[in-house]
Structure 1
Amino acid sequence: MVSDEMRAEAKRLKREKDAVVLAHYYVTPDAQELADYVGDSFFLSKKAATLDCKTLVFAGVRFMAESAKLLSPGKTVLMPEPSADCPMAHMVQKATVDAARVKYGDDLAVACYVNSTTEMKAWSDVCVTSSNAVKIVRALPQKNVLFIPDMNLGHYVALQVPEKNVILNDGFCPTHEAIELAEVETARREHPGALVLAHPECGDWVLRESDVVGSTSQIIEAAVASEASEFVVCTVHGVIHELEARTAGTGKRFFFPATTPVCPNMARVTAEKVLACLRDGTGEVGLPDESVIAGSTRALDLMLDYAK
């Protein structure tokens, strides 16, 4: 729980350090409460690029803080929990990208989910997020698109953009991949009339059972706009903080599969660590080698251009 003293200290430190705190929906609720902006990867990427401040504190996992540093190289970017990483961000080999480029030549675009390492972004033509992946892949001039690293989001994109040849990579989010169809079906039976809201990082077995498939922000917006009163949520449990805040007083209720989806890396980011980061300036994220800066920044910038 965030105390009044913690809020006051955070406010003072942000003013003294000219700092802004960004938090992903998946980190702990107390970390979200100390943030100036809370959102999904796409929102936070855009926000990081436009904020006028000296320091960004990124309450999330490493690829998010690295992207913020690439988009704002003149700012100091700090991570409250430097060890918080994303397993999926590492699930592709350079050989996979090289082989696709040899096979398809100029008629190939490599679309890289933003949940990826900086080096992986540099191998790619454009970055995407779960909220804009369909739009961007559809807009690419190439017929063939290698989608890295997430095969589940890639499969979902392929279904939405059948005119493209979407080539999948064998990567996935362990937390979303672990959501079982049987548990979703049980939750639906226990809450008849509930809408099932799922993130496209889930396996196809979950998406086919869902009423709404979308990014974290799209899931939240769907719940806010819906006339339904109960929802089964198939994404990381941290989103419950924003869901309940946005629907307070409406009587809406949210349920998760019996094996609650928790990202162990996001769960490491707490309010205490955000304060320590602000206080001591710890967890600074540096720029990568010059050899990867140009490629990764180009892919991120192109994502922002396509998403306008």
Structure 2
Amino acid sequence: MVSAAPFVPANLPLPDLYARVSHHIPPMEWPILAGDIEAILALKRDHNAVILAHNYQTPEIFHTVADIVGDSLALAREAAATDADIIVVAGVHFMAETAKLLNPNKTVLIPDSAAGCSLAESITAEDVRQLRARHPGVPVVTYVNTSAAVKAESDVCCTSGNAKKVIESLGVPRVIMLPDEFLAQNTAAQVPGIEIITWAGHCEVHELFTADDIRSVRESYPGVVVLAHPEAPPEVVAEADFAGSTAGMVDFVGEKRPARVALVTECSMSDNVAVQYPEVEFVRPCNLCPHMKQITLPKIRRALEQRQYEVTIDPALAERARVAVERMLAVR
């Protein structure tokens, strides 16, 4: 079934942009949002700024003001390539730090300095040093969902989209993989013969999903195709039809075009992908990320107007952390 074209009432501001989000935002709310959107678009032009938005951002950010969208790996790669003078990261703090690592001479802003991450906060640089002492000579693979200080203690970074390739590229029988325990366990199942030492860090969004949740979705929505994120527990991944990064989920929907799909991840993910594939029915067994939701249009506007919440990293620490990120980007 092909969905009808979105209805856009006459006299709405920015009608082309509204058409992208009309299934999620009522017409009466749009004029309030449109004022900030118009201001942000003008500020970007005036200051040679770009906005990077993670897949978990709300549709009014993701589909109207963002220049570059995607998962952590895609944002890291695009951040390294941008020629903008100012980078605004509509995401959480570790993503803004990664953008700064790859653009040390550019201004990087995060619209809310309190937009953190439970996973990034689950481990410190001292924790990594202690692990190295307990496992001498074992390389440390660190998820990008970590602070720059933790990255600086690591050999190479990875994302949920390239963890398997990064680990295999090391050519060793044993690695330390930090900090997401479930991502490490799910990756270990893909690399038989390589021992993975884990850390007990979890994403507060994905750790809440259970295998019973997936079975319940299948019972309620016959024929649904279930896509899980590898930050979910292994028993959840085992119940899914596919597991992959948010970019992997988007690619799956685009290639397979299932009639009905459930994305077992953060809520806004389904909202954003549904805009691209309106003919697909999206079931939403989702959990909200309170940190991602700290980012709003008014805060993005204020960041650009006031150069608010600039991200800075100690140069010596940044140099070490940058090596780990660049090694990750070199793995194809």
Same fold per TM (> 0.5)?
yes
Tell me, in whole angstroms, the C-alpha distance in 2 between the residues paired with 1:142 and 1:73.
Answer: 32
Partner of residue 315 from structure 2, selected from 281, 290, 304: 290
Equivalence for 2:324: 299
Equivalence for 2:283: 255
Equivalence for 2:79: 48
Equivalence for 1:276: 302
* Cα displacement (A) at 1:291: 3.7
Give deviations 1:158-180, integer Å, cap 9, x for gaps. 11011211111110101100112
| Cα separation, partners in 2 of 1:15 and 1:158, compared to 1, 3 Å | same
Equivalence for 1:18: 48
Partner of residue 129 from structure 2, selected from 89, 98, 108: 98
SS at match of 1:90: helix
8 Å Cα contact 2:87/2:108 also seen in 1: yes
Partner of residue 122 from structure 1, selected from 148, 152, 172: 152
Tell me, in whole angstroms, the C-alpha distance in 2 between the residues paired with 1:222 and 1:97.
Answer: 35
Amino acid in structure 1 at the alignment position of 2:320: G
SS at match of 1:202: coil
Give deviations 1:185-244, integer Å, cap 9, x for gaps. 111111111111000000112101000100001111111211421112100011123211
Structure 2: runs of 5+ lacking an equivalent:
1-24
8 Å Cα contact 2:226/2:261 also seen in 1: yes
8 Å Cα contact 2:125/2:149 also seen in 1: no
Structure 1 residue 64 corresponds to structure 2 residue 95: yes
Q: Residues 96-245 of structure 1 correspond to what in structure 2 (within 5 A)? A: 96-106=127-137, 108-245=138-275
8 Å Cα contact 2:59/2:268 also seen in 1: yes
* Cα displacement (A) at 1:6: 3.2
Give deviations 1:9-31, integer Å, cap 9, x for gaps. 22211011110011101122222
TM-score by length of 1: 0.93
* Cα displacement (A) at 1:69: 0.4
Amino acid in structure 2 at the alignment position of 1:240: S
Tell me, in whole angstroms, the C-alpha distance in 2 between the residues paired with 1:212 and 1:303.
Answer: 24
Equivalence for 2:20: none
Percent of matched pairs sharing the same residue: 34
Structure 1: runs of 5+ lacking an equivalent:
none
Tell me, in whole angstroms, the C-alpha distance in 2 between the residues paired with 1:226 and 1:160.
Answer: 23
8 Å Cα contact 1:85/1:265 also seen in 2: yes
8 Å Cα contact 1:177/1:201 also seen in 2: yes
* Cα displacement (A) at 1:95: 5.3
Amino acid in structure 1 at the alignment position of 2:80: A
Amino acid in structure 2 at the alignment position of 1:23: A
* Cα displacement (A) at 1:144: 1.2
Amino acid in structure 2 at the alignment position of 1:292: L
SS at match of 2:189: helix
Amino acid in structure 2 at the alignment position of 1:281: R
Give the total of aligned pairs.
Answer: 301
Tell me, in whole angstroms, the C-alpha distance in 2 between the residues paired with 1:74 and 1:233.
Answer: 38
Runs of 4+ in 1 over 6 A off after TM superposition: none
SS at match of 2:112: coil
Partner of residue 88 from structure 1, selected from 108, 114, 119: 119
Amino acid in structure 2 at the alignment position of 1:14: K
Amino acid in structure 2 at the alignment position of 1:298: V
| Cα separation, partners in 2 of 1:170 and 1:228, compared to 1, 3 Å | same
Equivalence for 1:267: 293
Amino acid in structure 1 at the alignment position of 2:168: R
Give deviations 1:89-110, integer Å, cap 9, x for gaps. 021244553344345433x110
* Cα displacement (A) at 1:44: 0.3
Partner of residue 34 from structure 1, selected from 61, 65, 78: 65
8 Å Cα contact 2:37/2:297 also seen in 1: no
* Cα displacement (A) at 1:137: 0.6
